[in-house]
């Protein structure tokens, strides 16, 4: 199959490299220093399951540089959805199948509105991977899995070739007919752990070692769960023992990607996680004091990072104009 990786970060880079290693026709979309490094030396992925390299000629700056893909793995940060979708709309990929592997519960709704010719497929990626240097991705969690499915039962058969492709690439990928619930299950976990990890600057293991911080994570998860139930999502009640047993599958040194963004003074997916819990909770009349507090504490960092990024973009544009 032919794939376009829209967002060659930890998630897109890892799964895209595995698909490429299995013989698929895969193109990697990137920008900035990461793009420059990959166009020069290719993409190098180090993981707990081996290493994978992607040739420089597979790296592109705009989806127009590749022919129409069968599937787009949409892996950009949620705050870049509209800009990334606009680039796809201006390319042969505008009518491809779009598999979102993003954090949050409403990315697919946004993509469906922005890319009306595409079949939108919901996806959940369980993996701990990140860009550790331009052109280099490291996966450290030791656990990689995708859960995906359509929102329209009539489209379910369209996923059969994709399932076979994942299996051939030795990617654990489970197709489900309850993708909305699966999105919420991850959202409940990641909205809590991302915020606590960012606020404490600690690894998952360090957080779970202390009973008070363990319970902060669990109570934040229960708060998000209550919002999901209020929204009509079919969710089984969370149990502490099962939650912490599930979290033990990941390396103790695992850190949320949002925590890396905070430390590196980058914009965060705050609005798609704790912010979404707070907004939807307010709409449904479900109290969310824990997430409201974490959101308020992290929001200034996010806004400062956005201001800094805007200033850098403006400076780059001015330099380009001056050079021309």
Out of 177, 198, 223, a domain closes at 177
134 plus 220 within the same structural domain: no
* pLDDT recorded at residue 320: 43
pLDDT tens for 86-106 read 999 999 999 999 999 999 999
Residue 323 falls inside a structural domain? no
In a domain, 312, yes or no: no
Edge-first strand order for the sheet with 50-54 is: 50-54, 43-47, 136-139, 129-133
* Assigned domain for 318 exists: no
CA atoms within 13 A on the CB side of 49: 18
Q: What 3-state class would DSSP assign to 96?
A: coil
H/E segment holding residue 192: helix 179-200
Domain boundary among 177, 208, 231: 177
Q: Would 316 be classed as within a structural domain? A: no
Domain identity same for 151 and 195: no
CATH number, domain containing residue 272: 1.10.1040.10
List beta partners, residue 26. 3
Ordered mean pLDDT values, 10 residues apiece, the chain (324 residues):
97 97 97 96 94 96 96 96 96 97 96 96 94 94 91 94 97 96 97 97 94 97 98 96 87 88 95 97 98 98 92 57 39
Return the pLDDT at 314: 58
Q: Which two tokens stand for residue 195?
A: 């915020």
Closest CA to 80 of 267, 262, 318, 265: 267
Q: Which domain, by its residues, includes 203?
A: 181-307
Which pTM was predicted? 0.92
Q: Is 228 found in the same domain as 215?
A: yes
d(CA 91, CA 89): 6
- CA proximity to 96, closest of 133, 65, 123, 121: 121
Query: Is 317 among the domain residues?
Result: no
The DSSP bridge partners found for residue 53 are 44
Q: 286 and 139 in one domain? A: no
233 contacts 188 by C-beta, under 8 angstroms: no
Do residues 73 and 3 touch, judged by C-beta distance below 8 A?
yes
Q: How many domains does the chain have?
A: 2
| Residue 161 domain flag | yes
Q: What is the pLDDT of residue 142?
A: 76
The CA distance from 59 to 7, in Å, is 11
What are the backbone dihedrals phi and psi of residue 43, each rounded to the nearest 5 degrees, phi first? Answer: -105, 135
Residue 315 lies in a domain: no
| Domain CATH for 84 | 3.40.50.720
């Amino acid at each position: 199959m032919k794939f376009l990786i829209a967002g060659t970060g930890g998630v897109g880079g890892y799964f895209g490299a595995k698909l490429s290693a299995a013989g698929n026709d895969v193109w990697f979309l990137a920008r900035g220093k990461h793009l420059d490094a990959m166009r020069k030396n290719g993409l190098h992925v180090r993981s707990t399951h081996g290493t994978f390299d992607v040739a420089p000629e597979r790296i592109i700056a705009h989806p127009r540089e590749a022919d129409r893909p069968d599937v787009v793995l949409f892996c950009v940060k949620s705050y870049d959805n509209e800009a990334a979708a606009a680039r796809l709309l201006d390319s042969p990929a505008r009518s491809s199948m779009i598999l979102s592997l993003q954090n949050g519960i409403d990315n697919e709704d946004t993509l469906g509105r922005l890319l009306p010719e595409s079949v939108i497929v919901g996806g959940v990626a369980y993996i701990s991977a990140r860009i550790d240097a331009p052109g280099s991705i490291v996966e450290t969690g030791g656990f990689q899995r995708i859960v995906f499915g359509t929102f329209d039962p009539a489209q379910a058969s369209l996923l059969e070739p994709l399932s076979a492709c994942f299996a051939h690439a030795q990617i654990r990928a489970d197709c489900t007919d309850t993708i909305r619930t699966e999105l919420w299950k991850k959202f409940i976990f990641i909205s809590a752990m991302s915020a606590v990890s960012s606020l404490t600057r600690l690894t998952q293991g360090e957080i779970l070692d202390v009973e008070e911080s363990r319970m902060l994570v669990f109570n934040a998860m229960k708060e998000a769960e209550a919002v999901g139930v209020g929204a009509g999502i079919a969710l089984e009640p969370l149990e502490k023992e099962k939650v912490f047993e599930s979290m033990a599958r990941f390396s103790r040194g695992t850190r949320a990607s949002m925590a890396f963004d905070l430390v590196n003074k980058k914009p965060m997916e705050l609005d798609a996680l704790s912010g979404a819990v707070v907004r939807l909770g307010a709409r449904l009349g479900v109290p969310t004091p824990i997430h409201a507090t974490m959101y308020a504490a992290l929001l200034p960092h996010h806004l400062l990072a956005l201001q800094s990024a805007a200033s850098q973009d403006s400076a780059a544009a001015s330099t380009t104009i001056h050079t021309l």
